[in-house]
Each structure stands twice: as C-alpha cells, then as structure tokens.
Amino acid sequence: AEQKPRPLEFLSVIDNSGSICGTSLAQAKARLIYALARLQPNDRFNVIRFDNTMTLVFPDSVPADSEHLDQARAFVSALEAQGGTEMVPAMQAALHDGGVSDNSYVRQVVFLTDGAIGNEQQLFDTISAMRGRSRIFMVGIGSAPNTFLMTRAAELGRGTFTHIGSVDQVEDHMRGLFAKLENPAVTGLSVTFSDAKADLTPAILPDVYRGEPLVLAAKLDQLKGDMEI
C-alpha cells in the first residue's frame, strides 16, 4: 500500500479509419484525451494514429509535460475518419522499444480500434514477436468491435480488453481501466509443475492487478506433484 507506482511509458494508438466514423470516432478521441489527462509529469508518452497510413505525433516517447500534452490533444482533436485499416504497422511502431533495458518505467500500450481487419493472425504474430516488456490493453470502439481479435491480442500482450459502448460511459470505464493500469500488483509471473506435463493457457501469464484474480487452465498428463506460480 505504501509503494509508489513506477512511472509509465504510455503508448496510445488510435484507429481513425473509415469504419470508425461519427459516434465511434468521438468515443475514441474522448477516451484518448481522458487517458492523456491522467499522465503524471514523470511519465513519458507518445500517440500513434492509423488508417491505411500511420503517423507518430513524436519521433519517440516524450515527457508528459504541458507542452507535449497540448500538442497531442490538438492532434487527437483534429482527427477525422478516413481510409482503410492497416493495424499491424501501428502495432509494430507501438511495440518498438528503444529503451528495452530501462525497467524503471512500466511500458503500456493502449490500442483503440474496432478491429475491422482481415489479417488477424499477422497481428497476433507481431505481438508475440515484439511484445518484450510492453503490456497491451485493447479498447473496443463502437457497438460491435471484433471481440475475438481484441481478447486474443490482449491475452498475448499480457493486458486486458475493455469495451465501452457509448460516449456516456467513457469516463467511468476509462477511470476503471487506468486505476488498473497504474497499479500492477505482481508482474513477471510464470508457472511450473513438479511431476506433470501441462498444456497451459494462457501460455504467457498476465500481470495481476488489484481486485482481479489470476485465471489459467491446464491440461495435465497426470494429477500428481506440485504447481508453483
């Protein structure tokens, strides 16, 4: 309870493709602007937008000071829905980690999209290959986001999937998500079985956050020995 949270390196990715129009884009922008307002001066951040093209607001993560935050908010506010949906390059950009050995920051990627893509496996392969020390939190945009893609991407990225169905729910849901992001209780978990061979899912265990259980399933060749987490 007395431990101060580590500073964040916060990478936010927002989908502004043509499938995200009207209310859905308004939701996404509101969520991202809320997220930026939660950052502290000792945090670092960047914002990436994508359709069939991609833009990074800053070449690399920058301090969450008033000048950089104002630039990011202005950029987000001006976004309009257009183009196709090429999610993989944006995910690659978010997971590219120049400070790979800097564990003083908790590196978190919040990815806002409806998941309207056809190459889901390519996205999953990208996360598996590049996740490193990043944690990926998928946030569903619109009334019917691609729940399979969101859930699987979050599982591979040791994060969670949050769906917010209306603009009215943005602040409540995002407050809950960030209360969780800011307070990981246990990280770097693994599980071993002393005498049994196990087929385990999820194969990479997620972090544990306050008020949430660790849930895993294992198929064992024999009910014998100890399990150690």
- 93 φ/ψ sector (left φ>0, alpha ψ -120 to 50, else beta): alpha
Are the beta carbons of 109 and 94 closer than 8 angstroms? yes
pLDDT at 176: 76
* Residues with Cβ within 8 Å of residue 15, at least 6 apart in sequence: 28, 49, 50, 51, 85, 87, 112, 113, 114, 141
Measured between alpha carbons, how far is residue 101 from residues 64, 106, 151 in Å? 21, 12, 28
SS3 for 85? Answer: coil
Q: What is the number of alpha carbons within 13 Å of residue 16 lying toward its C-beta? A: 22
Residue 167 is classified by DSSP as G
Total-model pTM: 0.83
Q: What is the number of alpha carbons within 13 Å of residue 162 lying toward its C-beta? A: 23
Nearest to 106 by CA among 50, 44, 25: 44
Helix (H) or strand (E) holding 220: strand 217-220
pLDDT at 111: 92
85-122 per-residue burial string, b: 16 or more CB within 10 A, e: under 16? bbbbebbebbbebeeeeeeebbbbbbbbbbbbbeeeee
Q: What is the pLDDT along the chain (229 residues), one digit of tens a residue?
A: 566 777 889 999 998 988 777 777 887 888 889 889 989 999 999 999 999 999 999 999 999 999 999 999 999 999 998 888 889 999 999 999 876 666 788 899 999 887 777 788 999 999 999 998 899 999 887 767 788 888 999 989 988 888 876 666 666 777 777 777 777 778 888 999 999 999 998 888 888 877 778 888 999 999 999 999 9
Tokens of 4: 């101060």
44-50 and 8-15 beta bridge pairing: parallel
Are the beta carbons of 113 and 19 closer than 8 angstroms? no
CB atoms closer than 10 angstroms to residue 207: 19
